[in-house]
Amino acid sequence: MSSELSSLLVRDIGEQGLLERLQRFCPQDIVGDDAAVLPFPNSGQSLVVTTDVLVDGVHFSDRTTSPEDVGWRAAAANLSDLAAMGASPLGITVGLNVTGDTSVSWVEGVYQGLSDCLQQYNTQIVGGDVVRSPIVSLAITAFGQVSPSRIIRRNAANVGDAIIVTGVHGASRAGLELLLNPDFGKHLQNDERSHLIQAHQRPKPRLDVLPTLGKILDSPLPITLAGMDSSDGLADAVLQICRASGVGAELERTQILFPLVLHQFVTPDQAMNWALYGGEDFELVLCLPPEPAKTLVEQLGEGSAVIGTITTGKEVWLRDRADTFADERLTLNRGFQHF
């Protein structure tokens, strides 16, 4: 080993740089989506697996989040990764690092939150490990099942596809703002405030979309499908799908919906920023031909919308049919940036 190599530290290349170097240890065909997809032998079905690690002080904090919400949000994020692949959940495992000073009721609160969220989707914690450690950290692995013809991949968008969202964006980011700045939006009605805060503390993975989507895919002619979830923001989702599929997109600003109540306490520009870049709304962003896309939007109802079209080229543009805002080109650098 050269001394140069051995002296390179994680801080020199960052988590993203390290992840890229580690990908050579994984099979190339199953890296780069929300979750790994493997054939489950002798079943004609696929197994879908996703892992998230959450560290106290980095991904959650005792000071701003109840243990029940830490658990709920962790479960929701993992179930959303399964939904993003088209998979139904089978269970999760939890690898827990706790310190000697961690309160038992805090740990039980996290598990209660995990269980509460999982129960909504008829699934459960099936195992795990608990170890003593200098820090508190949670490693969650969720696994699910999908029929190979129903897998949703990032890299399958085609020019001419409609881009749809399964719900409004920006609610989670607005809820976070209300938690961070209690004076902000204080003239909102209680149910409006709590709706936004709930969107942040108890996000809902869109597993409910899968049966509706499944019926539309059961057409005589095969329907191509691409997509992912919007956990890192709507802009990021569209950009990731376009990058993986080698295509571009045009989004129509007037079609990107945020909760109406946002008009009462932020500018339209701020609301659009939260919708595009806020993240953690856990909606699905799907690309499919215009006709089935329209049917899906109609069946999903309120909040679901066609927001744009897949184009040739590699650029993603946000256009304004109303001509109030200048056209804006979206880029991954901005998409990764959390406010």
Binding residues for ATP: 111, 128-129, 154, 231
Q: Which of 62, 111, 214, 332 binds a second copy (CB under 8 A)?
A: 111
Q: What x/- string results for residues 292 through 321 when contact with a second copy is judged by CB under 8 A?
A: ------------------------------
249 binds a second copy (CB under 8 A): no
According to CB under 8 A, which residues from 22 to 81 bind a second copy?
A: 22, 25-27, 30-31, 35-36, 38, 40-45, 47, 49-55, 58-59
- Which pair of tokens denotes residue 125? 């914690």
Closest listed residue to residue 102, CA positions, set 93, 111, 89: 111
**For helices 268-277 and 171-180, angle between their N-to-C axes, nearest 10 degrees:** 110
- Please name the residues in contact with 226: beta carbons below 8 A apart, sequence gap of 6 or more: 152, 153, 154, 155, 156, 157, 158, 161, 241, 245, 286, 287, 288
Q: What x/- string results for residues 126 through 155 when contact with a second copy is judged by CB under 8 A?
A: xxxxxxxxxx-x-x-x-x-x----------
210 binds a second copy (CB under 8 A): no
Q: Which of 62, 80, 84, 102 binds a second copy (CB under 8 A)?
A: 102
Binding residues for a second copy, total number by CB under 8 A? 77
Angle value at C-alpha 264, between 259 and 266, nearest 5 degrees = 85
Q: Which residues does the annotation place in the binding site?
A: 34, 50-52, 59, 81, 111, 128-129, 154, 229, 231-232, 280, 336
Q: Which of 61, 124, 219, 312 binds a second copy (CB under 8 A)?
A: 124
Q: Which residues does the annotation place in the binding site for Mg(2+)?
A: 34, 50-52, 81, 129, 229, 232
CB of 6 to a second copy, least distance (A): 5
Determine the Cα–Cα distance for residues 83 and 117; give it in Å rounded to an integer. Answer: 14
Closest listed residue to residue 256, CA positions, set 207, 198, 311, 322: 322
Q: Phi then psi for 95, rounded to 5 degrees?
A: -100, 115
Considering beta carbons, is residue 93 or 295 the nearer one to a second copy? 93
Strands 125-132 and 88-98: parallel
